[in-house]
């Protein structure tokens, strides 16, 4: 069930209460706001070409941390290459043949995940570390079994990440919570349904909120109000600008209150990573566009 704007705002207080409790129990260190790169900003790059360009973008912008997208890690044969332009929903439902192909690809991906040696991910980690950079978070599509979910946490650790981020189906909440507790690793939850999010946050002390302030704005939710109320439950968030009910736009040209959000979190010395996520028209392959976005954010927080 999707929430109306009124229902969404009514649920914010309940989330804040859950967040305060989980934050106290986890015992986070207060290290302050920091910037990182969400490699979704370079989503049009395939896995075969992505990593050198991601590293180039991070060095060009003097960013130490990134949240790496699964399509930049898993072999290209398992994943689409996302377009560089504006996204639109499919014009028609998949055909029976396409559905069978999707099932076969999903089965092959599961087999790969369960068998790939951890050295594959350690090599990726080493490539970043040799450049003085860090993969801080791994953005994944969850598996459907305990074994596959457990492997995703092992992959994240092998990459050097301290967290996973995902849009978690309700049916996988219990299994993922158990894996998060076992591995003592943060899971950043992306969301569109506040009731579902509230239930998921309560499932594990390692579950945290990972909002996208651009997507909140597109849903006509006041991003600044949301962050002010819920920052204690946030381990990270996507820094993106957008128009209410409209598209993503270049940083500073939309209504996501980017400046106010960053200033608020800096003043609170919140231990949160703001992952630069530029996905407006014209982005998807360009380190230069990433540099523009990072420069805008850095000018605000110093």
Residue 297 tokens read as 């954010």
The residues near 203 (Cβ < 8 Å, ≥ 6 apart) are 173, 174, 177
The residues near 2 (Cβ < 8 Å, ≥ 6 apart) are 192, 193
Q: Is residue 18 pLDDT above 70, yes or no?
A: no
Q: Residue 30's pLDDT is what?
A: 43
Spatial distance between the Cα atoms of 88 and 46, rounded to a whole number of angstroms: 20
Q: Residue 25's pLDDT is what?
A: 36
Helix axes 5-26, 194-201, angle to 10 degrees: 10
Classify 121 in phi/psi space as left (phi over 0), alpha (psi -120 to 50) or beta: alpha
Q: Is residue 71 pLDDT above 80, yes or no?
A: yes
As a dihedral over the C-alpha atoms of residue 123, residue 167, residue 182, residue 148, rounded to 10 degrees, the angle is -60
- CA of 124: how far to CAs of 1, 52, 68, 291, in Å? 39, 11, 11, 23
pTM for the model stands at 0.88
What phi, psi does 239 have (nearest 5°)? -95, 105
What is the average pLDDT across 174-189? 98
Q: Is residue 87 pLDDT above 90, yes or no?
A: no
Q: Is residue 24 pLDDT above 60, yes or no?
A: no
289, burial (CB in 10 Å: exposed 0-12, middle 13-18, buried 19+): buried
Q: Residue 23's pLDDT is what?
A: 43
The pLDDT tens digits of the residues spanning 142-178 come to 999 999 999 999 999 999 999 999 999 999 999 999 9
Q: Is residue 65 pLDDT above 60, yes or no?
A: yes
Q: Residue 213's pLDDT is what?
A: 97
pLDDT confidence of 80, banded at 50, 70, 90?
Answer: confident
The pLDDT tens digits of the residues spanning 217-261 come to 999 999 999 999 999 999 999 999 999 999 999 999 999 999 999
Q: Is residue 2 pLDDT above 80, yes or no?
A: no
Spatial distance between the Cα atoms of 108 and 295, rounded to a whole number of angstroms: 41
Q: Is residue 194 pLDDT above 90, yes or no?
A: no
The pLDDT tens digits of the residues spanning 94-107 come to 899 989 998 999 99
Q: Residue 98's pLDDT is what?
A: 87
Q: Residue 10's pLDDT is what?
A: 56
Q: Residue 26's pLDDT is what?
A: 33
Q: Is residue 193 pLDDT above 60, yes or no?
A: yes
As a dihedral over the C-alpha atoms of residue 6, residue 7, residue 10, residue 12, rounded to 10 degrees, the angle is -110
Q: Provide the CATH topology of domain 5-85+95-301.
A: TIM Barrel (3.20.20)
Which of 22-26, 197-201, 207-211, 279-283 shows the lowest mean pLDDT across its residues?
22-26
């Amino acid at each position: 069930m999707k929430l109306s704007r009124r229902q969404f705002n009514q649920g914010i207080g309940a989330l804040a209460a859950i967040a305060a409790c989980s934050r106290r129990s986890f015992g986070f260190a207060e290290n302050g706001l920091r910037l990182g790169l969400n490699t979704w900003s370079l989503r049009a790059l395939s896995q075969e070409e992505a990593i050198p360009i991601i590293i180039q973008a991070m060095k060009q912008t003097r960013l130490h941390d990134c949240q790496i997208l699964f399509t930049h890690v898993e072999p290209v044969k398992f994943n689409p290459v996302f377009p560089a332009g504006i996204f639109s929903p499919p014009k028609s439902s998949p055909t029976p043949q396409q559905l069978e192909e999707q099932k076969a690809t999903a089965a092959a991906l599961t087999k790969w995940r369960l068998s790939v040696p951890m050295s594959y991910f350690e090599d990726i980690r080493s490539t970043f570390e040799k450049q003085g950079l860090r993969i801080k978070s791994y953005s994944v599509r969850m598996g459907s079994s305990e074994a596959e979910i457990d492997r995703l946490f092992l992959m994240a650790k092998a990459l050097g990440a301290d967290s996973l981020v995902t849009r978690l189906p309700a049916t996988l909440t219990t299994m993922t919570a158990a894996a998060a507790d076992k591995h003592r690793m943060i899971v950043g939850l992306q969301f569109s349904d506040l009731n579902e999010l509230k239930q998921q946050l309560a499932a594990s002390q390692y579950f945290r909120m990972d909002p996208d302030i651009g997507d909140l704005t597109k849903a006509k939710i006041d991003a600044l109000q949301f962050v002010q109320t819920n920052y204690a439950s946030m381990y990270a968030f996507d820094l993106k600008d957008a128009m209410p009910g409209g598209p993503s736009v270049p940083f500073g040209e939309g209504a996501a209150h980017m400046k106010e959000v960053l200033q608020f979190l800096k003043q609170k010395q919140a231990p949160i990573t703001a992952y630069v996520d530029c996905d407006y028209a014209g982005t998807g392959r360009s380190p230069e566009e990433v540099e523009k976005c990072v420069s805008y954010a850095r000018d605000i927080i110093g």
